């Protein structure tokens, strides 16, 4: 089982609950319809990886940078950043047929996370992704269609969240294909302070 860290404490998520279509500009860039209710799907613990890959079983992967929250005592306890990796072509084919997305979203290595820091719900968080030094994604909690507390409340209506479970809150515009050898650097900020940064090199 894969683990993540909040400060000096280690947690083993039983699951990752992901929100789709939570930024208007990302919905537009993929030509998706704006949903009338929250879009939720789940990744298993086996999806967590420390290594960023450009492909999985010969299929190209696309990156989506997301603000993430770690759960403790049924509450939002930690905040960090993650990469939600997607087999975009496969996902599109599955959606056209009205089939589930798991083959395109829940494969081994489909989720990478930074360490988590204690979160403060009163703060507005901003984050970005740079690839080889160029900013390609920027997100802000004020641009989200559903905020973290709304997401937690909706999930909790039908699913128990255990200590260490992670909520991925959706990606802003700027998603794209992972290329081998690229340096991915993510940074999380709040109140004009950098809370954390992390980088991966893709293989």
pLDDT single digits (tens) 142-193: 888 899 999 999 999 999 999 999 999 999 989 999 999 999 999 999 999 9
Residue 72: give its domain's CATH number: 3.90.850.10
Q: Would you put residue 142 in left (φ > 0), alpha (ψ -120 to 50) or beta?
A: alpha
In which residue are the tokens 């039983």 written?
Answer: 14
**Residue 90 scores a pLDDT above 80:** yes
Confidence tier at 94 by pLDDT (50, 70, 90): confident
Residue-number span of the structural domain to which 123 is assigned = 4-201
Cβ–Cβ under 8 Å, residues 180 and 202:
yes
- 187's CB contacts (< 8 A; 6+ apart) are 81, 127, 128, 130, 194, 196, 197
Angstrom distance (rounded) from CA 161 to CA 42: 12
CA atoms within 13 A of residue 52's CA, in its CB half-sphere: 27
Distance, CA of 103 to CA of 91 (rounded, Å):
8
Tell me the per-residue pLDDT of 98-122, one tens digit each, with 9 for 90 and over. 888 899 999 999 999 999 999 998 8
Supply 89's token pair: 């072509």
**Per-residue pLDDT at 1 exceeds 70:** yes
Report, in angstroms and rounded to the nearest whole number, the Rg of the chain calculated over CA atoms. 16
Instruction: Give the chain's domain count.
Output: 1
């Amino acid at each position: 089982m894969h683990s993540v860290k909040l400060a000096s404490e280690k947690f083993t998520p039983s699951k990752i609950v992901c929100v789709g279509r939570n930024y208007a500009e990302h919905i537009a860039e993929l030509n998706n319809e704006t949903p009338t209710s929250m879009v939720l799907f789940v990744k298993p613990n086996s999806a967590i990886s420390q290594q960023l890959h450009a492909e999985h079983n010969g299929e190209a992967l696309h990156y989506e940078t997301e603000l993430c929250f770690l759960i403790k005592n049924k509450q939002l306890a930690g905040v960090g950043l993650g990469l939600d990796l997607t087999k975009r072509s496969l996902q599109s084919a599955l959606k056209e047929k009205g089939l589930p997305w798991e083959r395109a979203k829940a494969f081994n290595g489909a989720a990478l996370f930074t360490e988590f820091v204690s979160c403060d719900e009163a703060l507005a968080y901003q984050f970005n992704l740079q690839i080889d030094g160029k900013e390609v994604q920027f997100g802000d909690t004020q641009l989200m269609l559903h905020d973290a507390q709304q997401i937690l409340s909706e999930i909790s209506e039908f699913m128990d969240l255990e200590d260490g479970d992670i909520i991925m809150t959706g990606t802003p515009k700027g998603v794209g294909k992972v290329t081998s050898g690229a340096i991915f650097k993510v940074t999380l900020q709040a109140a004009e302070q950098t809370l954390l940064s992390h980088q991966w090199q893709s293989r």
